Amino acid sequence: MNLIRKYFPIIFFVFSFLIFLKTFFLQTYPDFLVHYYSPIALLTGHSPYYSYNNIPFFPDVYPPVTILFFFPSVLFSLFLSEKIWFVISLVSLFLSVYFSFKIFNKNLFSWLGFIILGLIFLSFPVKFSFGMGQVNALILFLTTFSIFLYTKKKTVTSSLVLCLSIAMKFFPIFFPLYFLLIKKWKYFFSFLLLFLFIHLLIFIIYPSLVIDFYTKIIFSLIGGWKTDYYNQSLTGFIGRITLNQPFRESLRIATSLFFVLVTFFAILKTKGKEKFLHFHLSVLITLNLIVNSFSWQHHFVFMIYPFIVFLFYFLDSKNYKALIILFVSYLLISFNFKNPENFSPLLTSNVLYGAVLFWGLQIFILLRSSLKLQVNLPKDKIR
């Protein structure tokens, strides 16, 4: 029995990882084609933001920084570039979990670490992200690493790393606003200046690239109704349950405002206390995924950091009821319908339900904590 307890987490991790590794042997990664051919289009005098008959990929919708980031891939064949990118993404994923643990002085190479890694590799959003050749693992790493640096008081370096994340994916877009809200001026202005500087450099070299993205592409990302099952945002859900254009537009605005206002209300109630930093950043990531115009299932790999934050909190506080809710949320987010067209749209919004359930749990913890602050702390410590 003791041997089972000792080795089960490792066996579970190895089993999960082997299942996940099937994605390494896929013949191609559809979204990576965009990243591979966009620099080639640019080098041959074309705009990656348009479709051309002789270039086998859909028009790119990523920011200019991402297109330039993939320039080195043109030095290799498509097949080799895909495998190199898979390895880079895998390392990024491991580092994301590693730094999430390190933030809380936890050991990743422990029974809990192996269990968490196993659950991560079993999650459909993770397998989907790798199977498509997405940049999500890298963005997750940049996000968690920037948080780690911030906890080590490396403010400017942290803001620069966060800038790279947002410049490549516009995620997590609420973070700069948060640091402005809590009056971290050095952090916010370091971020802002680097963001502008990067785009100025790109504009000098490829002016049309910056102009096309910020005058055309970005508006298609903000608006629109992508109602595919794989869009598990609030917008996708509303678009699937009603076709009435005026009604669903009003409903989207109203519900999005509700989530945003409640989230920032809860944050403001606990603003000024460093111990709530990770709660705040976690709920902002969750909010980002809920209110985006589109959050494909593979975007939900970004929930890894919030899940780890609250898992540690609930384990340390021995809040087992909350742990059950957290696990249910994980199951809903991790599950995938193979044939969603055979089911009701109400049933196939499972990922959104999991995100909203987790969001509600986070808001409850923040509001409850704010009440305890008011009761237990001296007035001069309440900010």
- Alpha carbon distance, N-terminus to C-terminus of the chain: 51
Confidence of residue 121 (pLDDT cuts 50, 70, 90): very high
Confidence of residue 377 (pLDDT cuts 50, 70, 90): very low
Measure Cα distances from 246 to 153, 253, 340 in Å: 48, 11, 26
Q: In the prediction, which pLDDT does 23 show?
A: 95
Distance between CA atoms of residues 93 and 90, nearest Å: 5
Distance between CA atoms of residues 197 and 191, nearest Å: 10
Which residues have CB under 8 Å from 300's CB, separation 6+? 125, 232, 289, 333, 351, 355
CB 89, CB 301: distance < 8 Å: no
R_g of the chain, CA atoms, integer Å: 21
In this structure, how many other beta carbons lie within 10 angstroms of the beta carbon of residue 224? 12
Distance between CA atoms of residues 236 and 333, nearest Å: 15
Q: In the prediction, which pLDDT does 46 show?
A: 84
Residue 310 has pLDDT above 70, yes or no: yes
What's the token pair of residue 228? Answer: 């595919």
CB 135, CB 301: distance < 8 Å: no
* Phi, psi for residue 296 in degrees, rounded to 5: -65, 160
DSSP state of 214: I
Distance between CA atoms of residues 353 and 59, nearest Å: 31
pLDDT (tens digit per residue) in 355-372 = 999 999 999 999 998 766
Which residues are paired to 231 by β-bridges? 296
CB 145, CB 137: distance < 8 Å: no
User: HSE (CB half, 13 Å, CA atoms) of 281?
Assistant: 28
CB 308, CB 316: distance < 8 Å: no
Least confident range from 32-46, 78-92, 318-332: namely 32-46
Distance between CA atoms of residues 362 and 374, nearest Å: 19
Can you say whether the dihedral through the CA atoms of 120, 302, 304, 331 is positive or negative? negative
Residue 267 has pLDDT above 80, yes or no: yes
Return the SS3 of 73: helix
Q: In the prediction, which pLDDT does 328 show?
A: 98
pLDDT (tens digit per residue) in 169-219 = 999 999 999 999 999 999 999 999 999 999 999 999 999 999 999 998 888
| Average of per-residue pLDDT across 319-336 | 96
Residue 380 has pLDDT above 60, yes or no: no
DSSP 191-259: HHHHHHHHHHHHHHH-HHHHHHIIIIIHHHHHS-----TTB-SHHHHHHHH---HHHHHHHHHHHHHHH
**Cis-peptide, bond into residue 30, ω within 30° of zero:** no
Q: In the prediction, which pLDDT does 155 show?
A: 92
* Phi, psi for residue 231 in degrees, rounded to 5: -85, 100
Return the SS3 of 231: strand
| Average of per-residue pLDDT across 326-343 | 94
| Average of per-residue pLDDT across 137-161 | 96
The one-letter amino acid code at 249 reads E
Q: In the prediction, which pLDDT does 224 show?
A: 74
| Average of per-residue pLDDT across 73-94 | 96
Give percent of the chain with pLDDT exceeding 90. Answer: 77
**Cis-peptide, bond into residue 172, ω within 30° of zero:** yes
Instruction: Give the chain's mean pLDDT.
Output: 91
pLDDT (tens digit per residue) in 268-282 = 998 877 779 999 999
Residue 248 has pLDDT above 70, yes or no: yes
Least confident range from 1-10, 75-84, 144-153, 322-331: namely 1-10
The one-letter amino acid code at 15 reads F
More confident residue, 49 or 147: 147
